[in-house]
Chain A
């Protein structure tokens, strides 16, 4: 009633208001495809995964899938292999994300400066290329480029007198290679998001700030950064989620090896679920990963987004 009164006060014709409130059926019919699709491709598999995670559910022993309660969860939580994989995943995040944000911010600030319009357009377009490259292809390229004997990376190092590095056959080097590749692929994403954030800074405020100080850091810290916080939060959430489910690139490049040195959590889940066929255990691992992702996202929003 209050809404209707307000609408009438604003001069909205009564017919329109009626049409808006009376067409629940229309609203449902517009919403239902999305809701049904989400239910089918999102909710139903999730419920099935929860159900599977509480069973001894192995694809090669489907005659026998007894209910085991939380046993799979207990196995996962006490399994050093799971926590090692989780540790490697977070290590990748901790090593790659700050570099991506710092480099992305640097690129964004350069592109935000006035002048050189044509070159900046070219640069912006070029930034899309790594992101647009299929993850699996990036991994395959990495496999070739980091090849000990024939790879272009070692060839380039050779030009400056550095001996060939055994990138993919050495645990630490292989991990460094996937960090490098992740930074290469996702720095442009950070740059574009932060560039978009910089364009939201009102021109007159930025101009006034520059008249007040010559320090670029002061302008960045007190004028531009507040406008970048929403973008940074989005970057943090998206990149964290992406890293936690990072699979294609690493799978095609190292398959988690050598040893377990690049076996991230998603590769472990795939290995358990689709190579050892223990879908029950793999589902439990996936559910725990989901909970960790949700908790991290909430933390990001709580500690970063609130400052805006």
Chain B
């Protein structure tokens, strides 16, 4: 069953359950739904990023309405997967899973998270205004579902965008951002790299940033991919190699030591006027716009990522929230009510206002939103053209990303050629997939 038909089925089921239920749609309220769970505490991991700060500001309202306490554990992204895996393996405390789109296969296959239909089909818990159709379909599919089953609702949502310093571009004689990657390298690169300033910074630190923000970013627009249809490495293909070689060429217009740049360094480089352009997650808009953390002020402008020969195919990343299987029934219900509330249509505008990036289409259609938040048109456009498997989402990704990080960085440092690096990654990636059982039919070829 396809994802779309599954979600439609869920929506139909929810509607039917509501219609048959004595509790009519207009009678449902969060307060009443939460009554049996007042006093319940739910534990969740939050990251140290703007969307989570926004959610934390909204928490008191939820706790006041429901009597449910949401206990947040803050941690950096790099620790979040390990902490949650250990917690789930040990039967720990987390009642809500924070699921990066590349973790969903892992979490779902291990049955650490509960399919959302359990709650969507429960009229006592399902908000009649849940409206799954209102989520951007790409985002709901990529962030929240695995194998045709919906598990989580999109919470902290990103698309890669081109953030640029329009003043620097104007000074160099450009009246707009580059439309293609080739243009960025061949025209903007030489014109903007001078006097200690650089045209572009591609964050490439050896962690998930190397895999997601750097390596995958140059694969897809050039027609490449990690895997072919048979799940064999596609990194030696002409298209993948073209993308990887492009990255090597582009490095001449990036600051020295770009392999040590993580998000903070790239955002800071643009914020301080040291580079003219970066491709970063939409969630960093608030950091770049904030005068306390950025000096470029009104020079900040946002556009969709440049196109490659195969189209735009921008970086796609983000997190959903799903109910953890290890939670007891009361905690599961309370967890669902929180997830449903924080990702709701009703709260999307406030979440956006506080610095989050909701995945609700309706909020971006509201009058004045596109004018107030410069990134909105680019974001909406990007979410039409994204690739769900931008990074494969299967359970083996944590092992494979380590390989990509190691050899991707070695390529950038010139320690190996793009062919040698791609071969190493391909061989090691296939070994992981073989051991997992993809080649003997034990596991379906789903990514």
Contact = CB atoms under 8 A, between A and B. Distances in A.
A61 B435 CA distance: 11
A34 interface: no
Contacts, number: 77
A260 B406 contact: yes
Contacts of B86: 59
Contacts of A171: 413, 415
Contacts of B398: 60, 275-277
A255 B204 CA distance: 13
B256 A166 contact: yes
B409 A259 contact: yes
Contact of A148 (B256, B402, B409, B415): B256
A257 B399 contact: no
B235 to A, nearest CB: 18
Contact of A275 (B255, B402, B415): B402
Contact of B205 (A60, A170, A255, A277): A255
Contacts of B258: 169
B423 interface: no
A60 B110 contact: yes
B85 A59 contact: yes
A166 B81 CA distance: 31
Instruction: Name, among B259, B260, B436, the residue most crowded by chain A CB atoms within 10 Å (CB to CB).
Output: B260
Instruction: Name, among A170, A258, A271, A272, the residue most crowded by chain B CB atoms within 10 Å (CB to CB).
Output: A258
Contacts of B205: 255, 257-258
Instruction: Name, among A60, A171, A275, the residue most crowded by chain B CB atoms within 10 Å (CB to CB).
Output: A60
Nearest to A273: B82
Interface in B37-82: 81-82
Interface in A215-263: 254-260
Nearest to A167: B257
B274 interface: yes
B412 to A, nearest CB: 8
B410 A277 contact: no
Nearest to B395: A60
Interface in B408-447: 409-410, 412-413, 415, 435-436
A48 to B, nearest CB: 14
B207 interface: yes
A148 B81 CA distance: 30
Nearest to A271: B402
B247 interface: no
A278 interface: yes
A258 B415 CA distance: 11
B402 A259 contact: no
A257 B395 contact: no
Interface string A158-176: 0000000010111100100
Given A169-B261, A170-B256, 4 more contacts: A62-B110, A166-B257, A169-B260, A272-B402
Q: Which 6 A-B pairs have the closest CB atoms?
A: A169-B257, A169-B260, A258-B259, A257-B206, A259-B409, A276-B399
25 contacts: A59-B86, A60-B85, A60-B110, A61-B395, A63-B110, A81-B406, A148-B257, A169-B258, A169-B259, A169-B260, A171-B413, A171-B415, A257-B205, A259-B409, A259-B412, A259-B413, A260-B409, A275-B81, A275-B82, A275-B402, A276-B398, A276-B399, A277-B85, A277-B398, A277-B399
Interface of B: 81-82, 85-86, 89, 106, 110, 205-207, 255-261, 274, 395, 398-399, 402, 406, 409-410, 412-413, 415, 435-436
